[in-house]
Structure 1
Amino acid sequence: MEHTGPADEVDRIVDAWHHVRPDLELEPLTVFSRVSRLARHLDLARRTAFARHSLETWEFDVLSALRRAGEPFRLSPGTLVTQTLVTSGTMTNRIDRLESRGFVQRHRSPDDRRGVLVELTEEGLARVDAAMSDLLDIEAKVLTALSPTERPQLAALLRTVTAQFDE
């Protein structure tokens, strides 16, 4: 198959498939194998960034949901479940663990006597902000392979492909 630019590992894989199965339309493989490889590299980079701040990926997910809520950085456990795509039992366990580390605290909901709100502590806020800054530095370095005009183009193309899963 023809390539533009230097060949990469995906090109070698696709070429091998083309050789043994020339009847297959391999275009999806040229795209999604690269997406998959990039996802593995980004997952490792994220884990590394979070580890520098003594956070697990799931901890960052919960803390960042609270941070994005804006002041006073409070959400209900149900909202956290929705935003992090875990079960309520899992979220209860996560909140317990984050509370034991001093990153969040529970408060009674002023609107519902039985309800609870989860709030970032100062330590949780500092930790998630530092991890987010580190993460963005790492991800910005990945994007240096693209020109400033190519970056928004890639974001738009990926949005188009992923939008079908957000419906």
Structure 2
Amino acid sequence: MPAHDEVDRIVDAWLRERPDLDFAPLQVLSRVARLSKHLDRARRAAFGESGLEPWEFDVLSALRRAGSPYQLSPKALLQQTLVSSGTMTNRIDRLVERQLVERRTDPHDGRGILVSMTALGRERVDAAIATLLVAERELLDALSPADQDRLAGLLRKLSLDFDAPDVD
């Protein structure tokens, strides 16, 4: 394993040019950003094998995680996918066109709508998550299970503030 990665080279160059600055944040966050790009590529490939776009996987996986009968309100989907109402409406429309979801009237509220995953949607999301997990395991191969647990804990600690619900 090389003693220095690309981030080390970048930080060393900055330190040479600007020794007056503390580049410690780059040591962590530049690596997170670079890893994010590798993860994005792996996810796009995994989803592509199942005929899905990343945004389609996001919506379908929210429905799948909801459990049988695999349906949620558009508002619940908004909360899980962090997109605007207009974007979600567009996404649902496109998923309906592809026969991956259906819109149904909420039986508990005749004015409400539920988005329900079709059998084809379930088949696609199940295949995508299985492929994704193989790809993600490969990305983490360099770390022992203990290191993976430690890293997951540190990233959780860092992300807690970002994941906190917005209070209006």
TM norm structure 1: 0.95
Q: How does 1:46-125 map to 2 (within 5 A)?
A: 46-125=43-122
Q: Tell me the distance in 2 between the aligned counterparts of 1:24 and 1:15.
A: 12
- Aligned mate of 1:164, from 155, 161, 166: 161
Q: CA deviation at 1:50?
A: 0.7
Q: Secondary structure at the match of 1:71?
A: coil
Whether 1:130 aligns to 2:108 is: no
Q: What root-mean-square deviation, in Å, do the aligned CA atoms of Structure 1 and Structure 2 show?
A: 1.2
Q: Deviations over 1:43-76 (max 9, x none)?
A: 1111111111111111000000000000000101
- 2:23 aligned partner: 26
Which one has more relative contact order, counting CA pairs under 8 Å at least 6 apart? 2
Letter paired with 1:124: G
Letter paired with 1:17: W
- Unaligned runs of 5+ residues in structure 1 are none
Q: How many residues align structurally?
A: 164
Q: CA deviation at 1:93?
A: 1.2
Q: Secondary structure at the match of 2:109?
A: coil
Q: Secondary structure at the match of 2:110?
A: coil
Identity of aligned residues (%): 59
Structure 1 runs (4+) deviating above 6 angstroms are: none
Q: Deviations over 1:24-53 (max 9, x none)?
A: 111111111100000011011111111111
Give the stretch that moved more between structures: 39-48 or 86-95: 86-95
Q: Tell me the distance in 2 between the aligned counterparts of 1:151 and 1:139.
A: 12
Q: Secondary structure at the match of 2:83?
A: coil
Q: Tell me the distance in 2 between the aligned counterparts of 1:62 and 1:73.
A: 11
